[in-house]
Structure formats: structure tokens, C-alpha cells
Amino acid sequence: MRYVAGLDGGGTKTAVVVLDENGAVYDAFSSGSLNVNGEDPEGVRRHLRGILSSISESCGGLEQCVHICIGAAGISHPEAGTRLTNVVRESGYHGGLTLVGDHETALFGALESPQGMILIAGTGSICYGVNEQGISHRTGGFGHLIDDEGSGYSIGREMLSAIVRAHDGRIAPTLLEDMVCKQLQIPDDTDSVRALVGFVYDRNRNKRDIAALAPLLAGACALGDEAALGIARASADALADLVVPVAERLSLQAGRLAFAGSVLLHNTYVQDALCEKLARLYPRLVMALPRHDAAWGAAMMALNRLEN
């Protein structure tokens, strides 16, 4: 029996799916991060070697795994791809190897097809699509400093912005202050805004810390908080703006669009507002939640390479 493997290299973990040559899931596990742009090279090397060792154990030897597809953010950068390829080969794997962006594997997994569109709103945000002619287009995904509107990071930042604006009277008071302070364990007798500013500008702070506040938005929306509802609507508008150029350029106005990422999967206020707007723009567009994850999509891409 021959096997293929798919890797979804995330910023915090890597999900792995192993399929047999008939397409049945043979094994699935997770390991350390393969963030080729954000983690030190030695950490990536260590995690990847561990993953390959686990694949070898699962398949009865690396030579039994005839193709591996790795999907990860930033992998299209020539240096990142070369570095990852070198580690794979140095670790003793000499079979077929495909490196693609994680948005490509997410699309395949979500729709069980390489055609269609996927909108991802997690820590960052991106929309990616491929039409029947094989033409692709993507929008967004350019990082939190200049892009990623509608993402978890963007929502977390807007929540913090609303808190300081409410504090000095630019907008009405918001429930977000108490909710955020509670999550960050800021004591009641502390100057909360001063503490929040210290939290944001701590030199050790990263975008995931800000994005971790985003799940609080749904609770504030449920309580009717105007600032929270405004952030949800603005996020939905920003995400719709990602979809429109992809749908238009690829003539997929009546195609399929999958939602992925924590914001779209867990915040019904953002999701509902987005669906309403897209339904008005494209009445024939089919919107759905993912059927499978990106690791399964990567494994299926590997299987397709094997069959071809």
C-alpha cells in the first residue's frame, strides 16, 4: 500500500493527514508550528523532522509515503520554499513534494475541489478563488500592518480602539471595556485604560495576543452593545470587499464560496451580516462552511499529484 500526506502549517501548530492510495484517511495528528516567516529556522527544522518521523512510523517507512503536500502561509517566498525543501530532503524524504500556500489547501479541503472560492478570517484575512479554466485570484492576506481587515486581529484592535474612544467621550460607553479587562485579568481598582495601553505597546506583544480578544465581540453584540455591533458590521463589509474582486475577475458570481477561520466560524453576527450583503450582491452565490480542513485538502492535492 502506498500513502500520501498533507500538512497544514499554521502559526501555532501543524495538522497532518495521511491518506492511503485509495483516498481513505489512514492517520491524522498535529505537531509544532511550521511558520516559515515567523519562527526561527531551527524550530521549523525540529518540528518538520518530528512530523516526518511520525509519518514514517505511520506508513511503515518514509519510502511508503510517495507524495507530501505542504501548505503554509508565506511558502511562496522563494527563500522559504527552498529552506523547507532542504529540510525535507535532509530528513531523508526523497518522494514527491509539493509546496503551496495554505489558502490553496484550505480551498481544496473546504469544497472538496480545486475550484471555487474561500474566504478565511482568522488571525488574518484573505480570499482566494480558482475558476474552471484554472485561473486564480486572491485578495488580502498582506499582513496586519497594512491589511487583514475583518480578521481577528482587526477586530481585536477595533475593540481596543472603541474602549479608549469611549473612555475620553468620543463615543458612548461600551461593555467591551469590562469584558476585555476581565479576560486580561486587569484588577477593578486599576486604571483600566492605562493598563490596556501598557498591554498593547508591550514590546513582547504580538498580533495573536490582539486577535485573542476577538471572540469577546459576539458576547457584546448579543447584549446589544452599539460599539460591538458597529465593529461586526464593519468587519462584514471589509470581508465582502475581499470577495467581490475574486468573484468578478473569475466570473464566479454564481459559484461556491466557503467560509473558514475563527471569525467566520464562531461569530454569527459577522457571518450573518456578511451573508446578507453577499446575497444582495450575488443572489446565485452558494455560501457554505468547510467540508474538510486544510490538512485534508493538502493530502488530496498530494493524492492528485500521485494519480497524475
DSSP string, 189-240: TS-HHHHHHHHHT-TT--HHHHHTTTTHHHHHHHTT-HHHHHHHHHHHHHHH
Where in the chain are the domains? 3-112+292-307, 118-288
> Checking DSSP bridges between strand 25-31 and strand 14-20, what pairing results, if any?
antiparallel
Q: What value does the mean pLDDT take over residues 95-101?
A: 94
Residue 230, pLDDT > 90, answer yes
Between 39 and 78, the higher pLDDT residue = 78
* The CATH classification of domain 118-288, taken from the options 3.10.310.10, 3.40.50.1820, 1.10.3720.10, 3.30.420.40: 3.30.420.40
Q: 278 burial class (0-12, 13-18, 19+ CB within 10 angstroms)?
A: buried
Return the residue matching grid coordinates 505597546. 201
Number of other CB atoms surrounding residue 173 within 10 Å = 14
pLDDT in tens, 257-301: 999 999 999 999 999 999 999 999 999 999 999 999 999 999 999
**Dihedral (Cα; 174, 177, 179, 184), 10-degree rounding:** 170
Between 33 and 120, the higher pLDDT residue = 120
Confidence band of 43 (pLDDT split at 50, 70, 90): confident
Q: Is 58 helix (H, G, I), strand (E, B) or coil?
A: helix
Q: Percentage of residues in the chain with pLDDT exceeding 90? A: 82
- With beta carbons less than 8 A apart as the criterion, state whether 62 and 47 touch: no
Q: What value does the mean pLDDT take over residues 159-171?
A: 97
Domains 3-112+292-307 and 118-288 belong to one CATH topology: yes
CATH numeric code, 3-112+292-307: 3.30.420.40
Q: How far apart are the first and last CA of the chain?
A: 18
Confidence band of 79 (pLDDT split at 50, 70, 90): confident
Query: What is the reported pLDDT for 77?
Result: 72
H or E stretch covering 274: helix 268-281
- With beta carbons less than 8 A apart as the criterion, state whether 155 and 143 touch: no
Q: How many angstroms separate the CA atoms of 84 and 41, rounded?
A: 9
Q: Is 263 helix (H, G, I), strand (E, B) or coil?
A: helix
Residue 39, pLDDT > 70, answer no
Q: Which of 207, 212, 281 is nearest to 242 (CA)?
A: 281
Q: How many angstroms separate the CA atoms of 228 and 217, rounded?
A: 6
Residues contacting 173, CB < 8 A, separation 6+: 166
Between the CA of residue 62 and those of 4, 54, 73, 255, 276, what are the distances in Å?
10, 9, 25, 39, 48
